[in-house]
Amino acid sequence: MSSSAYKVVEVIGTSENSWEEAARNAVETAAQSLKHMRIAEVKELDMTVGADGRVMSYRAKMSLSFKYVPGG
């Protein structure tokens, strides 16, 4: 039986349009430097609000897990 190890990192994605786009931005940006990603889990959603009460941006805090490959 083969065994594996995984590492988990936390990232925050942002978007001016939606939480869904913020989450996608987080995963796609992280994928540029992380290899063997397995799971992306949304941990928290929030937004920034301007002085006029309008939503300025959406944020998605996420945990990403990827396979740990020694030396690689």
Instruction: Write the DSSP symbol of residue 25.
Output: H
Host domain of residue 48: 6-67
Residue 1: inside a domain, yes or no?
A: no
**Residue-level pLDDT at 68:** 82
**CATH code for position 57:** 3.30.1660.10
Tens of pLDDT, residue by residue over 19-57, are: 999 999 999 999 999 988 999 999 999 999 999 999 999
Over 70: is that where the pLDDT of 72 sits?
A: no
Query: Residue 30 is which amino acid?
Result: A
Q: Across residues 8-24, what is the average pLDDT?
A: 97
**Residue 14 contacts residue 22 (beta carbons within 8 Å):** yes
Over 90: is that where the pLDDT of 70 sits?
A: no
What is the number of helices (H) and of strands (E) in the chain? Answer: 1, 3
Residue 33: inside a domain, yes or no?
A: yes
Residue 38: inside a domain, yes or no?
A: yes
How many domains, in total, are found in the chain? 1
Instruction: Write the DSSP symbol of residue 47.
Output: E
pTM of the model: 0.84
Residue 72: inside a domain, yes or no?
A: no
Sign for the CA dihedral angle at 9, 13, 23, 37 comes to negative
